[in-house]
Chains A and B, each alone.
Chain A
């Protein structure tokens, strides 16, 4: 009886592999065939711009602080209209582990892990990307978000409470009983 069962199992196993002949390979021959990347794919971090074309990063250093491999380094500066921006921004991609923590920490949705992932160089030093290489001319995954429209921060030419979905600040003294 058990011998009979064993033979049936053997036959089933053989049939299972034979059936695969017509099914083609599930391998994707990558460089020739394009990959289908999932929407939340974590590729190389880039710096995005807001819908108005200004850079989003406000040089708050949060990404640099949260990065487990300490591969982000930046210097803060301030523009004439009082917007903060990174004077230099540097990511060492020979250390980055594509964990996405920087993206989660960023308050302005500036740093984002988009779909670029295939890059190789001969030397480690070529993997240190400067700001010019990191900054892209697009909004990335969040096409409509502009930090300064929501943040309630006063800027040159825009006072507190003048952004979208914002109401003007209340007068603290008038609320007194």
Chain B
């Protein structure tokens, strides 16, 4: 019985998350419209919100097509891997005090990092299995980018772990007597930049740079397989936002309102930053991207970690 209820709950969580991702696709277009003096989709339903549904239905009704030159197994597996890894990470994210699937898991943060590496596999395999040069170039870019930005991301997170003394997300949120953004402003900025790169969102969308690579690693994908990549991207974006909210912005802590509302407000604020970046900034060149990752963010995050460790040691002594 318990097992059945758990399965039902997980199904519900998944559906809610997928719905959220679909909604974000729509919300992003509206926000972009707001920031760029235009409307965005506003035809179907109130505020045009039916557009999300229409897009989903369109993708689902398309033919499930495997090109003749693609590797059939990996081609099919890659999108699922991307969507799965993004979804699975949410298991350790708490929405409120004691409201999560595995928020207390003592390696929660590590699990998220592992899943994001798995996500990189999905992207790379998808591009490679497509057997097209654009997809391959996108995949190569994606791997290089994800590997080089995972380092500063991990190091920035390590500083948070140092401060809170816990790897579980519940523990980290509970340890925040004040939001860690105050103690870790540099860490927050590094986390955010690396997070944008990690989800290959604009301005760091070089793996799928439309103007150069058609659609990058998902060039050969269509229908719901493309939809999985799309969902994976938006779930990844939500994950980074929710992590930023939980790790740096104090999670469910906040006056007056219930915890989960605070969590949602903070998450959506970070998501808005993502959209805002997309509306404003041009895409850097690939060498600039790499230079930013290795020459600026990595040393900065190391510095941040060292300073945090030093301060923490002094705190212990004092």
A residues whose Cβ falls under 8 Å from a Cβ of B: 10, 13-14, 16-18, 20-21, 23-27, 29
Contacts and interface: CB of A to CB of B under 8 A. Distances in A.
B38 A27 contact: yes
A10 B33 CA distance: 20
A25 B35 CA distance: 9
- Classify chain B: how many residues form its interface, as a range: 10 to 19
A26 B38 contact: yes
B294 to A, nearest CB: 16
A1 B5 CA distance: 59
A166 B281 CA distance: 68
Contact of B276 (A14, A23, A24, A26): A14
Contact of A17 (B38, B42, B280): B280
The 3 closest A-B pairs by CB, nearest first: A17-B280, A17-B35, A26-B37
Nearest to A3: B296
Given A10-B281, A13-B281, A17-B276, A23 B37 contact: yes
B10 interface: no
A29 B277 CA distance: 27
A4 to B, nearest CB: 13
A24 B34 CA distance: 7
Given A16-B280, A27-B39, 11 more contacts: A10-B281, A17-B279, A18-B35, A18-B276, A20-B35, A20-B37, A24-B37, A25-B33, A25-B37, A25-B38, A27-B37
**Residue of A10, A13, A17, A23 contacting most chain B CB atoms (<10 Å):** A17
B64 interface: no
Contacts, number: 34
29 contacts: A10-B281, A13-B280, A13-B281, A14-B276, A14-B277, A14-B280, A14-B281, A16-B280, A17-B36, A17-B276, A17-B280, A18-B35, A20-B34, A20-B35, A20-B36, A20-B37, A21-B34, A21-B35, A23-B37, A24-B37, A25-B33, A25-B38, A25-B39, A26-B38, A27-B37, A27-B38, A27-B39, A29-B39, A29-B42
Nearest to B40: A25
**Residue of A16, A21, A25 contacting most chain B CB atoms (<10 Å):** A25
Contacts of A14: 276-277, 280-281
A111 to B, nearest CB: 37
Interface in B31-68: 33-39, 42
Which applies to chain A's interface (DSSP): helix, strand, loop or mixed? Answer: helix
B27 to A, nearest CB: 14
Contacts of B35: 17-18, 20-21
Contacts of B281: 10, 13-14
B196 to A, nearest CB: 13
A174 B42 CA distance: 79
Contacts of B33: 25
A79 B214 CA distance: 65
B277 to A, nearest CB: 8
A55 to B, nearest CB: 44
Contacts of B37: 20, 23-27
A20 B280 CA distance: 11
A133 B24 CA distance: 50
A29 B33 CA distance: 14
A27 B37 CA distance: 7
Contacts of A13: 280-281
A4 B279 CA distance: 22
Interface string B259-295: 0000000000000000011011100000000000000
A155 B37 CA distance: 60
A14 B281 CA distance: 8
A25 B38 CA distance: 4
Nearest to B282: A13
A18 to B, nearest CB: 7
A28 to B, nearest CB: 10
A46 B81 CA distance: 62
B265 to A, nearest CB: 18
Contacts of B36: 17, 20
